[in-house]
Chain A
């Protein structure tokens, strides 16, 4: 009964509310042409792993999301560890699907290895 309407990604939800929703908003829709939406966008579907690197290291490059270009840099969030990043990425995928597979902590670490050098 309890499980019927409860979100299985509680930790991810709490982390999202504390670290992501200030800018990307509770509904994930961002703010005007300043902060992009993260609701299962074309950008996320095309680059399903990039969320891991962006949360850790931020984003300085311009990106195009659903036809709109965003140029404001995002700061990385170094206090979020590999497990926290995994939880957030899975929670976002639960609310606004952008990837077909559940992300494991091992996946997160493998992805982080690819962006660490940059």
Chain B
């Protein structure tokens, strides 16, 4: 009898211990502005860029959506093709879910153009507006880039003339950055896909 009670206690404890592991929501990333008790969370500012189909893409495009932002350029000889391969995997995974969209910004304002982005999109079967490749003036792209906690620089030392991070950045419907991954690392992208699933399940 005592043995039974002991087993019952252990089982009860295990169940409660299990309950404590309720998954926490994805954090809001970035440097937040805290004034006294008020916190203004880091968020993506207003933007307007043109995509491969010459449509304007703005914050309104992503109202009520979850979107993935990245930075690349079409003639990039280093990490971009690998990041694109991984992003195509993400696109394939969510192709029938219209809550998920992708926004790729070119950082090559010198050589890239709308026709070049169109050509690139066609060769990879990338379709707007689900997946937009956008062009914008240098200062606007480089400003929005830092809002995505990413990095893009003109660098004559870097192959292709630009230095950038290869991050994929997840943004929610409140313009908050919620997760990111290294677009060159397959394992990290797997984890990122799980984060997308989680956010969709809990907040959409």
Interface residues of B (CB under 8 A from A): 75, 77-79, 81-82, 84-85, 88, 120, 122-125
Contacts and interface: CB of A to CB of B under 8 A. Distances in A.
Interface of A: 21-23, 25, 31-35, 72, 75
A33 B120 CA distance: 9
- Which secondary structure dominates chain A's binding surface? mixed
The list of the 7 closest CB pairs from A to B, nearest first, reads A32-B124, A33-B123, A34-B123, A23-B81, A31-B81, A32-B123, A75-B77
B5 to A, nearest CB: 56
Contacts, number: 30
A23 B123 CA distance: 14
Contacts of B125: 32
19 contacts: A21-B82, A22-B78, A22-B81, A22-B82, A23-B77, A23-B81, A25-B81, A25-B82, A25-B85, A31-B85, A32-B124, A32-B125, A33-B122, A33-B123, A33-B124, A34-B120, A34-B123, A35-B81, A72-B75
Contacts of A22: 77-79, 81-82
